[in-house]
Structure 1
Amino acid sequence: MTRFIHDQFAKDYLEELLQPYGEVKAPSRVAGEVREIDVSFSPQIEQITNLEVLGLLGRFAATPAIFEPYRNAASNDEICDCLLKLLEVKGALQREANRNTSNVQESEIPKLWILTPTASANLLSSFRAMPTNDWLPGVHFLADALRTAIVAIHQLPVIEETLWLRILGRGKVQSQAIDELQALSANHPFQKATLELVYNLRQNLRVNQNLEPDDQELIMRLEPLYQQDREQAKQEGIQEGIQQGERLVVENLLQTRFGSLDNELQGIIETILALPATEFTPLLIQLSREELITRFGKNS
């Protein structure tokens, strides 16, 4: 089923985003009847301020967290199963504290973030899940003692702060988020890695014969982006090869003419390479060492 493909994507995606900031376990087992937590995260104290780059997801990750992402709308039973995982983790922490004759600190107990593409009013009401004024719309908290929130991704506002969660949505929500992801600056710390994960998701879905309409639309949406990205990578590779070839020509000409590449000659190579090859080649052949250094040296 394609759900498992999306589940693996969500785990890989969250791990990719969170691993620079703490310890990620995806999945991790809990005691009792065998259950697996999709993503368990413990932040590194010195990295907490850097989590701002992940917006709302970073705010979730500022304290120990359990992330349970769903491709389809989470059901009552699935949310109850998530709560059981959290309670078992809390029980394990308490047993460890008892062995050490210590107390469990509130800050050690993870918060549970259930990430669901949609959530009906009836489902939210059945868990008394409520929004709060100090969090964005779409984040619905259960009773304080349960340390749990249901994140209805389709209700999140379309702002940069929610981008990294909307990537895990469905249909138009996910498509809009992918557009925003592609439009980010190429030097954004997570843009390239996230696009690669999305392209891998596309590849995994393409081999499946029984795709849901949402998945078919996702593949069609990603196809031109994928081709554009690969063409750009190809062109960058060609350009890099040309630049490496030109550098080799310059180094070989200098070494052939003057016997070795000392610090002075090495220091003018970058300036020489700023010229087209048709211009720098005759200069390298005609000018003396002193003339080259005078013309292309840092103080020229």
Structure 2
Amino acid sequence: MTKNPFDQFSKQYFEEFLSPLGEVRINYEIPGEPRFVDIWFTPSTPETTASPELGILARIAATPCLLEPFRKQPTEREIRSCLGKLIHLEADLHRQANRDEETIAPDELPRLWIIAASCSDNLLNKLMAREDETWLRGIYFPSKVFLTGIIAIDKLPPTPETLWLRILGKGLIQQQAIAEVIALPKEDTRRSAVVKMLATWKVSIEVSSSIDAEERELIMNLSQAYLEWEQKTELRGVEIGKEIGKEIGKEIGKEIGKEIGKEQERREIVENFLLARFGELDSQLAAIVQPISNLPATEYALLLLQLSSLSREDLLARFE
């Protein structure tokens, strides 16, 4: 279902951050409907969602929600499509509840969050969306009947509370957010996870068949994160090389370490692509990570480019 590098990154990103708080389903197909929800999140108990370090993202995850991220301003048709997904999902939940002779409380109904890099005042006026004083600037709500919130990343205040949403923005907004992530303590697990995902995003753009001006700017924004991740990966290899060097000589050990680092880098990229494409890395998919990593450079890049259109069965069959 993945269509582009941003789609891939955003799904993996929300899965990484929200999995500790509840169940994350990527590309969730609404039963009986030819519709796929980008991210369908169901929180665990309220206690587990108390994660103030995630800021607004934690508040969003306090209730069941559909997350629909957009790299550009969504069109009116795309917004109607998102609302259609919400309506069909709610209808399916009510059908399940009726079969089980249960009822769904209003606060248990799913909310739709449209997360857009930008959203014009004109579009917001058409939606009759307004800010709510209990939420931050840049977060808008149409009629309460629609159970929908719209996050305009370009209008969010640049505070720690919005960091984990601004990372999905564009241009200077994203550039500042990436710098803030890099500035976090190196022992921060969120920092290392995001740096790794940003690096993979950069690689996935670079293996695309064509790169436009906007994507070239994005690559520049992601370069700092990629460089740090690459150095970290190589350093891990060098450390291994040092141990080898004790036996066979320091210089040879150092060179072997660099090669090990490059191999680890390839493996991590493949693992991230498979996770984003299929939602999990089970034993069958894990078994083909190394064969993919061992492909010649041209075949390796081509496969990553084709991955979004390959079915699980076709991919596994290729490496059986």
**What is the TM-score normalised by the length of structure 2?**
0.71
Q: What does residue 153 of structure 2 align with?
A: 153
CA distance in 2, matches of 1:7, 1:86: 19
Change (3 A) 1:32 1:78: farther
Question: What are the Cα deviations for residues 83-105 of structure 1, in whole angstroms up to 9, with x where unaligned?
Answer: 11111111111112222222211
Q: What does residue 48 of structure 1 align with?
A: 49
Change (3 A) 1:225 1:6: closer
CA distance in 1, matches of 2:156, 2:3: 22
Aligned amino acid, residue 48 of structure 2 = Q
Q: What does residue 129 of structure 1 align with?
A: 129
Deviation (angstroms), 1:31:
3.9
Question: What are the Cα deviations for residues 171-200 of structure 1, in whole angstroms up to 9, with x where unaligned?
Answer: 111111111111111122311111111101
SS at match of 2:140: strand
Q: What does residue 205 of structure 2 align with?
A: 205
SS at match of 1:69: strand
Deviation (angstroms), 1:225:
3.8
Contact 1:43/1:63 (CA < 8 Å) preserved in 2?
yes
RMSD: 2.1
Deviation (angstroms), 1:241:
6.4
Comparing 206-215 with 10-19, greater Cα deviation is found at 206-215
What is the aligned residue count?
244
CA distance in 1, matches of 2:172, 2:215: 11
Q: What does residue 214 of structure 2 align with?
A: 214
Aligned amino acid, residue 187 of structure 1 = E
Q: What does residue 62 of structure 1 align with?
A: 62
Comparing 206-215 with 19-28, greater Cα deviation is found at 206-215
Change (3 A) 1:163 1:67: same
CA distance in 1, matches of 2:229, 2:99: 54
Change (3 A) 1:236 1:102: closer
Structure number with bigger Rg: 1
Q: What does residue 89 of structure 1 align with?
A: 89
Contact 1:27/1:36 (CA < 8 Å) preserved in 2?
yes
Q: Where do 1:149-228 residues align within 5 Å? A: 149-228=149-228
Q: What does residue 4 of structure 1 align with?
A: 4
Change (3 A) 1:88 1:228: closer
CA distance in 1, matches of 2:232, 2:35: 43
Contact 2:175/2:221 (CA < 8 Å) preserved in 1?
yes
SS at match of 2:227: helix
Q: What does residue 111 of structure 1 align with?
A: 111
Same amino acid, percent of matched pairs: 37
Deviation (angstroms), 1:106:
1.4
Deviation (angstroms), 1:216:
0.3
Change (3 A) 1:187 1:242: same
CA distance in 2, matches of 1:244, 1:161: 45
Q: Structure 1 regions of 5+ residues with no counterpart?
A: 247-300
**What is the TM-score normalised by the length of structure 1?**
0.76
CA distance in 1, matches of 2:52, 2:225: 27
Aligned amino acid, residue 194 of structure 1 = V
Q: Structure 2 regions of 5+ residues with no counterpart?
A: 247-320
Comparing 231-240 with 83-92, greater Cα deviation is found at 231-240
Change (3 A) 1:240 1:75: same
Deviation (angstroms), 1:244:
10
Deviation (angstroms), 1:220:
2.2
SS at match of 2:203: helix
Aligned amino acid, residue 17 of structure 2 = L
